[in-house]
Amino acid sequence: MKWYALYVRSGGEEIVKDHLNYYFDEQTLYALIPKRKVPEKKNGIIFHNIKILFPGYVLIKTDMNSSIFYKIKEIPNLYKFVNIGPIYSKLTNNKNSKKDISITYFSAIDDEEISPLLQLLGNTDIITYSKIHLENSEVYVNSGPLKGMEGKIKKVDRHKKRAKVLIKFMGSEKLVELGVEILSSLKISNISN
């Protein structure tokens, strides 16, 4: 089974996922909306909100065939399949000037691209907080989804408790904010003892 991306109406991701779950069993098609847990401060109180990581996209894992493709195309709020490969190729016959156009309506997401995202998500659809500490402008991840991905962390906002992380998605790199728990040096010394 391979991963594919659907481009949907922003705000309609859950509706599309519900329709996919209604029409297909989980062995035939698995739908995923990657989300992130981020802290937000309102009136001095910190709330832990869940936000969609890539608004307007639903990821699916399936063995794509024409039957599945056309059934998915009927789902409301779905704009199109994301095609990151060549859209079409033309073969021209000069004698009759006929064109044979073979069209690719969808393309699978490369394993190198989806693997880091699935690693961040773990066995859920939500990227939870990572425990980090800062030392001499260096970021060290003690635990959590960002463990081993220190090189992808571009900036840490101590006040908002968020890290800007570079994630490759659909052929381009996107900077996304993920929630982090910043450990003080006192907590770090207690953990190591």
The β-bridge relationship of strands 57-62 and 2-8 is antiparallel
What percent of the chain lies above the pLDDT cut of 70?
84
Long-range contacts of residues 183-187, Cβ cutoff 8 Å, at least 24 apart: 183/131, 183/132, 183/133, 183/142, 184/133, 185/133, 187/133
- Mean residue pLDDT of the chain comes to 83
d(CA 92, CA 115): 39
* Domains of the chain by start residue, with CATH: 1-110 (3.30.70.940), 129-193 (no CATH)
For 19-61, write each residue's pLDDT tens digit. 999 999 989 999 999 999 999 988 888 899 999 999 999 999 9
pLDDT digits (tens, 9 = 90+) for 114-166: 998 999 998 899 999 999 888 887 888 888 898 888 888 899 888 889 899 99
pLDDT band for position 5 (cuts 50, 70, 90): very high
pLDDT for residue 84: 60
pLDDT at site 87: 47
Q: Tokens for 96? A: 């009759």
Q: Which of 93-102, 163-172, 179-188 has the lowest mean pLDDT?
A: 93-102
CA distance 32 to 109: 14
For 113, the 3-state DSSP assignment is helix
Could you tell me the pTM of the whole model?
A: 0.79
Residue 183 reports pLDDT greater than 90: no
With bands split at pLDDT 50, 70 and 90, how would you rate the model's confidence at 12? very high
Number of CB atoms found within 10 A of residue 140's CB: 14
- Residue 36 confidence (pLDDT): 94
Give the pLDDT of residue 35: 95
